[in-house]
Amino acid sequence: MLLVIEEVSRQQREMWSEKKTRVDQRIVSLSQPHVRPIVRGKAGKPTEFGAKLSVSCVDNYVFLVLRYLVWFDRGA
């Protein structure tokens, strides 16, 4: 946890000193540092965070799929 806090501190210092509003691979959750925000631009919910759970039922079997949304830049 200390390493995560140190990285968040480094990212915040970088944003402040360089007057930026974003940092690549920015940590937005101390408890889940692998989660990234996804800007989707939806009305009422422009940004989504965290894991998404998909549940499906096929032939009386239930399948659970846990997906983590990882931020990426389509323009890069």
For residue 66, the 8-state DSSP code is E
Give a yes or no: residue 76 inside a domain. no
Q: State the residue range of the domain holding 7.
A: 2-68
Give a yes or no: residue 75 inside a domain. no
Beta carbons within 10 angstroms of residue 36's beta carbon: 20
Q: How many domains does the chain have?
A: 1
Rounded CA-CA distance 62/55 in Å is 7
The model's pLDDT over 8-61, given as tens digits with 9 standing for 90+, comes to: 999 999 999 999 988 888 888 888 888 777 777 778 878 877 667 778 889 989
- Looking at residue 46, its pLDDT comes to 80
Give this prediction's pTM: 0.55
Contact criterion met (CB below 8 Å) for 27 and 33: yes
Higher pLDDT, 48 or 69: 48
Residue linked to tokens 């691979």: 25
Per-residue buried b or exposed e for 14-23, using 16+ beta carbons within 10 Å of the residue's own CB: eeeeeeeeee
